[in-house]
Amino acid sequence: MSNIRVTALYKFVRFDDPEALREPLLGRLSELGIKGTILLATEGVNGTIAGTSEAMEQALAAISALPGCETLEWKDSHSDAMPFLRLKVRLKNEIVTMGVPGTDPTCLVGAYVKPEDWNDLITDPDTVVIDTRNDYEVALGTFQGAIDPETDSFREFPEWFENFRAELAKQGRTPKIAMFCTGGIRCEKSTSYVKSLGIEDVFHLQGGILKYLETVPKQHSLWEGECFVFDERVSVGHGLEVGDYQLCHACRYPVSAEDRESDKYEDGVSCPRCYGTFTDTKMAALRERQKQVRLAKARGETHIGDDVVMTPRQKAPV
CATH of the domain at 128: 3.40.250.10
Report which DSSP code applies to 7.
E
**Contacting residues for 127 by C-beta, under 8 A, at least 6 apart:** 121, 175, 176, 177, 178
Is residue 181 part of the annotated active site? The answer reads yes
Q: Could you tell me if 83 and 116 lie in one domain?
A: no
Task: State which of 162, 192, 225 marks the end of a domain.
Answer: 225
Question: Does the residue 234 lie in any domain?
Answer: no
Cα gap 129→176, rounded to integer Å: 8
How many domains are contained in the chain? 3
The vertex-108 CA angle with 102 and 111, nearest 5°, equals 145
Residue type for position 295: L
pLDDT of the residue at 315 = 44
Q: Which of 71, 134, 149 is nearest to 316 (CA)?
A: 134
> Out of 69, 107, 181, 271, which one is annotated catalytic?
181
pLDDT of the residue at 294 = 85
Q: Could you tell me if 266 and 293 lie in one domain?
A: yes
> What pLDDT digit, counting tens, does each position of 5-53 carry?
989 899 999 999 999 999 999 999 999 999 999 999 999 999 999 999 9
Q: Could you tell me if 156 and 256 lie in one domain?
A: no
Question: Does the residue 235 lie in any domain?
Answer: no
Task: State which of 192, 225, 258 marks the end of a domain.
Answer: 225
Alpha-helical (H) ranges within the chain are 18-31, 53-64, 115-122, 135-138, 157-171, 185-196, 208-215, 280-298
Cα gap 133→234, rounded to integer Å: 15
Q: Cα-flanking dihedrals φ and ψ of residue 67, to 5°?
A: -55, 120
pLDDT of the residue at 314 = 43
Q: Could you tell me if 195 and 256 lie in one domain?
A: no
> What pLDDT digit, counting tens, does each position of 107-141 carry?
999 999 999 999 999 999 999 999 999 999 999 99
- Give, to the nearest 10 degrees, the angle between helix 115-122 and helix 208-215: 100
Q: Which of 53, 48, 50 is nearest to 38 (CA)?
A: 48
Q: Which domain holds residue 54?
A: 4-91
Residue 51 DSSP SS3: strand
Question: Does the residue 131 lie in any domain?
Answer: yes
What CATH number should be reported for the domain holding residue 45? 3.30.70.100
Q: Could you tell me if 79 and 116 lie in one domain?
A: no
> What pLDDT digit, counting tens, does each position of 212-258 carry?
999 999 999 999 999 998 877 889 999 988 899 999 989 989 999 99
Question: Does the residue 312 lie in any domain?
Answer: no
- Most distant CA pair in the chain, distance: 65
Q: Which of 31, 112, 14 is nearest to 69 (CA)?
A: 14
Question: Does the residue 276 lie in any domain?
Answer: yes
Task: State which of 190, 225, 260 marks the end of a domain.
Answer: 225
Question: Does the residue 306 lie in any domain?
Answer: no
Does pTM top 0.95 for this prediction? no
Q: Could you tell me if 83 and 124 lie in one domain?
A: no
CB atoms within 10 A of CB 83: 22
Q: Which of 60, 37, 55, 50 is nearest to 80 (CA)?
A: 50
Q: How far is CA 105 from CA 160, 164, 220, 311, in A?
A: 20, 22, 31, 26
Q: Could you tell me if 15 and 86 lie in one domain?
A: yes
Q: Could you tell me if 126 and 215 lie in one domain?
A: yes
Residue 72 DSSP SS3: coil
Report which DSSP code applies to 270.
B
pLDDT of the residue at 313 = 46
Question: Does the residue 315 lie in any domain?
Answer: no
Q: Could you tell me if 86 and 122 lie in one domain?
A: no
Question: Does the residue 313 lie in any domain?
Answer: no
Q: Could you tell me if 118 and 217 lie in one domain?
A: yes
Report which DSSP code applies to 235.
E
> What pLDDT digit, counting tens, does each position of 196-209 carry?
999 999 999 999 99
Q: Could you tell me if 152 and 213 lie in one domain?
A: yes
Q: Could you tell me if 217 and 266 lie in one domain?
A: no
